[in-house]
């Protein structure tokens, strides 16, 4: 009996570091849940930036969110992120068109920049 007890104690002593390491690492499901929470947080941040008309920053954040959603194979989140990316790209496109309209008369008045239509 004493030999069995000694063996278990010795085995426990040698396995303790391994047990602690395994306990310290999150389980696969927990890691996925953390990634999902990160994606949700990033999406919310991207939406806020969109609403603040900080489109370039929003696009960067939303692209990160899209990568996570794809890793998680979360199609609903992917679709949601794509919609917000679309809003931002559309807003940038409209800004660019507006800037072109504002600059066009100025550019046409400069001899080197005349358009030849």
Instruction: Collect contacts of 13-18 with beta carbons under 8 A, ≥24 apart.
Output: none
Q: How confident is the model at residue 116 (pLDDT cuts 50, 70, 90)?
A: low
Whether pLDDT at 29 is above 80: no
- Spell out the domain ranges in the chain: 28-109
Query: Which of the residue ranges 18-32, 49-63, 98-112 would you say has the lowest mean pLDDT?
Result: 18-32
Whether pLDDT at 105 is above 60: yes
77: its two tokens: 């989140």
Over range 60-80, report the average pLDDT: 94
Q: Following DSSP, what letter does each residue of 76-110 receive, concatenated? A: HHHHHHHHHHHHHHHHHHHHHHHHHHHHHHHHHHS
Over range 59-80, report the average pLDDT: 94
Over range 92-98, report the average pLDDT: 85
pLDDT cut 70: percent of the chain above it:
64
Check residue 19 and give its pLDDT: 47
- pTM score, whole prediction: 0.62
CA dist., res. 44 & res. 38, Å (int): 10
Q: Following DSSP, what letter does each residue of 1-29 receive, concatenated? A: -HHHHHHHHHHHHHHHHHHHHHHHSPPHH
């Amino acid at each position: 009996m004493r030999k069995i007890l000694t063996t278990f104690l010795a085995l426990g002593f040698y396995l303790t570091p391994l047990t602690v390491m395994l306990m310290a690492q999150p389980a696969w499901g927990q890691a996925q849940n953390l990634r999902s929470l990160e994606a949700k947080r990033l999406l919310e941040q991207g939406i806020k930036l969109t609403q603040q008309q900080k489109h370039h920053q929003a696009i960067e954040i939303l692209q990160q969110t899209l990568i996570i959603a794809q890793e998680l194979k979360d199609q609903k989140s992917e679709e949601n992120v794509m919609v917000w990316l679309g809003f931002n790209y559309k807003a940038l496109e409209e800004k660019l068109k507006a800037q072109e309209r504002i600059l066009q008369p100025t550019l046409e008045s400069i001899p080197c920049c005349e358009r030849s239509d």
